[in-house]
Amino acid sequence: MKSAVFRFQLFKPSETFVVSQMRHFQSTQTTLFGGRLFGKAPENVDYFVPSTMGISELIRFYALSDCSMFQKMFDQKNFDLIHAHFSIDGLLILPLARSLNLPLVTTLHGFDVSRSRASFLSSGRPALMRYALFQDSLKQEGDLFICVSEFIKNKALEAGFPEKKLITHYIGIDPDDFRQSPQEHTDLRVVHIARLVEKKGTEYLIKAFQAIVKKYPEAQLIIIGDGPLKESLQSLAAPIANNVQFKGSQPHAFIREELSKASVLVLPSVTASNGDAEGLGLVLLEAAASGVPVVGTRHGGIPEAVVNDENGYLVAERDVSQLAEALDALLASDALRSRFGLAGRELVNDKFNIKKQSRLLEDIYSQSMTLKASTGKINA
């Protein structure tokens, strides 16, 4: 079986899951393709981007649905299906799948189904504006939509995606890639890995940490990520600047190293003003695989990865007091952190192991091809 996996912004540092997923296939040959490289291409990965993607090509692509820049790749290889990541990209590549009569499988990740049409229209970004106007075409003509969590499946239903085309499938991670963090260490390190945008709730973590440092003056908050809110968050953290480290955007190897030294991982996500919400939060799984307890909010798909009082704590969105209490409980007890960390790794192995999940995805591919060939339609 041969699959062509599409992401217009190819190899974004925050989207390592795209490559990880295909690396764990057992019987599928995969070529990644996109419009532009947004990061360094990993070694031993087959990929294609057009030699030229200038203004004229972009206008034809967005305005006229001209996918001819990818025709050479499809002429050279006999692909069985196209898999797009994010519904925005699914719509972009739909004309190509339609012209080739190939099944189009689209993974729905989060913002692509949780944000409102109005926010897409006002974004000023051509791909998002186009999606706001023509997303119904994808809903009608796309063959199958993979939801990264039950939460996203429910949001997709609310957004008008046909229920018979929806299936929940966790992407997962490889727990063998992560070294377990010993929870008997003396350094108290609270780690937050996120793009610095409203949805990630970083401001509430900083406010909670202001209370934490009064009891644990040696504790450090490590913030890994960048984004438009960086300056305002640095200003908010100024009173406890000696206890907060802004590391900026970092490669995945750096993140794995930080998790191996972490006491707690915190993802206090909130529903943003434009409706954007967390699909699942793969960083929660990476922390759990590292034996690190997690604190998250009762928000989006987070409760599917965090079992309260088992591998971490769940708190209400924007509740600084609850967040501080959860952090205090974990920082005060090596034994509690160890117990939660062990349970988290077991949860990842059981439910989110990418080796198992990628094999299941191959089964989904096969089923979609069989149904497309026999009926021309796919029902999940």
Tens-digit pLDDT string for the chain (380 aa): 999 999 999 999 889 899 999 999 999 999 999 999 998 899 999 999 998 888 888 888 888 889 999 988 999 999 999 999 999 999 999 999 999 999 999 999 999 999 989 999 999 988 899 999 999 999 999 999 999 999 999 999 999 999 999 999 999 999 999 987 776 666 899 999 999 999 999 999 999 999 999 999 999 999 999 999 999 999 999 999 999 999 999 988 999 999 999 999 999 999 999 989 999 989 999 999 999 999 999 999 999 999 999 999 999 999 999 999 999 999 999 999 999 999 999 999 999 999 999 999 999 999 888 877 766 555 55
With respect to residue 380, please indicate whether it lies within any of the assigned structural domains: no
- Which tokens in the block code for residue 234? 């640095």
SS3 content of the chain, % helix, strand, coil (to 5): 50, 15, 35
φ, ψ (nearest 5 deg) of residue 191 = -110, 135
Contacts of 104 by beta carbon, 8 Å cutoff, 6+ apart:
81, 82, 83, 84, 90, 93, 94, 97, 98, 141, 142, 143, 144
269 and 122 assigned to the same domain: no
Q: What is the DSSP string of 315-362?
A: E-TT-HHHHHHHHHHHHT-HHHHHHHHHHHHHHHHHH-BHHHHHHHHH
- Which tokens in the block code for residue 377? 């339609």
With respect to residue 27, please indicate whether it lies within any of the assigned structural domains: yes
136 and 154 assigned to the same domain: yes
With respect to residue 238, please indicate whether it lies within any of the assigned structural domains: yes
**Which element (helix H / strand E) includes 84?**
strand 81-85
pLDDT of residue 372: 74
331 and 208 assigned to the same domain: yes
With respect to residue 116, please indicate whether it lies within any of the assigned structural domains: yes
118 and 160 assigned to the same domain: yes
- Name the pairing type of β-strands 166-168 and 189-193: unpaired
133 and 194 assigned to the same domain: no
- Total of domains in the chain: 2
Provide the residue range defining the domain that includes 128: 2-172+354-375
65 and 159 assigned to the same domain: yes
196 and 334 assigned to the same domain: yes
Q: Please tell me whether the overall predicted TM-score, pTM, comes out greater than 0.85 for this model.
A: yes
190 and 243 assigned to the same domain: yes
121 and 185 assigned to the same domain: no
Q: What is the CATH number of the domain that holds 60?
A: 3.40.50.2000
Other residues' Cβ atoms within 10 Å of the Cβ of residue 136: 10
122 and 211 assigned to the same domain: no
φ, ψ (nearest 5 deg) of residue 62 = -75, -45
Beta bridge partners of 31: 4
12 and 29 assigned to the same domain: yes
**Which element (helix H / strand E) includes 206?**
helix 202-215
With respect to residue 127, please indicate whether it lies within any of the assigned structural domains: yes
CA atoms within 13 A on the CB side of 28: 26
With respect to residue 129, please indicate whether it lies within any of the assigned structural domains: yes
Tokens 């991670």 -> residue: 173
Q: Which of 335, 340, 339, 282 is nearest to 307 (CA)?
A: 340
Buried-state track 283-316, b at ≥16 Cβ within 10 A, e below 16: bbbbbbbbbbbbbbbebbbbbbbbbeeebbbbbe
C-alpha span between 49 and 47 (Å, rounded): 7
342 and 359 assigned to the same domain: no
